[in-house]
Structure 1
Amino acid sequence: MNDQNLNPLHPVRRPFDPAYAADEPGAATHPFPPVTGAEDKTALLIPQGPVPTPDDYTPRRIPHIGHALAFVVNTGVILVLTQAVFLALAPPMRNPHTGAHMIPTTLDPKMLLASMAIAYVVTLIEAWTFFPLLWHKSFAEGIRWDFATARRNAYRLIPLGLVLGWTVQAISSLIPMPKTIPMDRFFHTASDVWLVTAFGTLLAPMFEEICFRGFLLPAFAIAYDWLSLPRKPYAHEIWRTTVTFSRAGFVFSGILTSIFFAMVHAEQLDRAWVALFVLFCVSLVLTWVRVKTQSVACSTLVHACYNLSVFISLFIATGGYRHLERMTR
């Protein structure tokens, strides 16, 4: 985890930059290999592929705020459309007073989870296809997914997520909470709980981490660094030829991202502000993992284990989800 190459503050130099040839033995100063006497010198006159331009060697800071906005807006549109389709397909409700049939205005837990799962999957497929066209690199590289780092550090990340979850549960037992919250609707039947367990430990953590730590975290850091950049030629040259982030940019972005992370969950918790502050702190931990490892897969693994700890506790307390009435005691 302490590899210098994973340090977000470690400078990244432009490829083939002659300015660094002197202090890097064997460094290439030109993107084309030298022609030896045994080679046909006329080969240099024949294009061997796309001719590189200066922009090809200019690092790009991604995902920037435009990419993040496109991802979030696309998610919202797909989620609204998916839920509208499920509402249209839902069986009509009967008015308890008049007996007349009504169009349902809310989805039952199973249909709501299904609509969210479909929206998340469709959004990720679209992002996986679309953003590489803008970034000229794979989606996983663009968001710094880096599953290999998560696999190497799983023995530390999994316990971190579990301990974080149980610590938050212990703290939550000491803070005032409403007697009922909207999230309770997913815990009325065992089948609903099993579905929300699968959704909450597999798909939801991955999607939320890609959104918040894959897109929004670097986007806000890039925006902060750009706005705080001195309006001098040398500053713009440094900006153009590096892909580093300032420490202040990451701090600002981590706090802002965590505020949005908590607010997204506000409705589920009936806007219980103390509980939302706890979620804000959890998001800061996930952000620290993402910055420390430079891997969204690492923060996803911690997030998934954090959620899993909640379901493990619930599973034990309710006798394998068979006695859900114990949740209200």
Structure 2
Amino acid sequence: MTSSAIVASGLRKAYKDKTVLDGIDLDVRAGTIFALLGPNGAGKTTTVNVLTTLIEADGGTARVAGHDLASETKKVRAAIGVTGQFASVDELLTGEENLQLMVDLNRRVTGKRIVADLLERFDLTEAARKPASTYSGGMRRKLDLAMTLVGDPRIIFLDEPTTGLDTRSRRTMWSIIRELVAGGVTVFLTTQYLEEADQLADRIAVLDQGKLVAEGTPDELKRRIPGTHVRLRFTTTAELDAAARVLSDGTRDEEALTLRVPSDGGTKSLRHVLDRLDEYALSAETFTVHTPDLDDVFLALTGHATEVAAK
């Protein structure tokens, strides 16, 4: 699918003298996962709130699911689902009752079959008749997402959906998100977990102080940051010395017997390193290519690590 699920141009939002969104442009392709990264206060949640009609923008335009955000609000709401930073389940109700409540509130949905299907899909059948207050954090997030799916939305906004979850629960959520996209759903994801964006997103935009400072695929963003290098490990100090003389731009580590040689990671660059070693009858015990990760990208673009990464 190549059409756009979300298109925004020049979105602005301010609270008194504080500008939260400073003219951002977005183009989210249908059937993909789009991740919006940024530190606390960058404007991620405000972006979600504007695009989901919860608050009005001060300027700019946007179309969601082909509908104008300002003039076709009801049509936008009918096409989307929203899962916020905190699970919105009613803890006094059971999981089954929470889902049935959403069915009752949604005029386009009828029947109990959808409740049973969602409980099974999210592996909540056994806990269906237990109060949501007894659920673990991961179970509550799954129930929250299941409630979002009651109306079968084609675009889902997930605002930091795995915050506070343990590693196992987070990976379960990742699997569910991938399954949704495989079924044709578009996911707009905000997160502070760089690994999450790297694992899930087709495209990533980095938001800082209300402005988009970069956008691209995870690999494209990583390639923008210098630091890619080839790491060669040798078996003896003599071999390391000889390789360092041949590859004079390398940085050596005496203790690890390694030589770090700058490279763009491309085949031409790698072939040059190997050909130079072969020319002098040198052989490395191991040869690895290291590229910057999203932590490096985020630090370079915003000047600081994410709050999560810094902890």
Q: TM-score by structure 1 length?
A: 0.18
RCO higher in structure (CA 8 A, sep ≥6): 1
Structure with the higher fraction of residues in strand conformation: 2
Structure with the higher fraction of residues in helix conformation: 1
Q: TM-score by structure 2 length?
A: 0.18
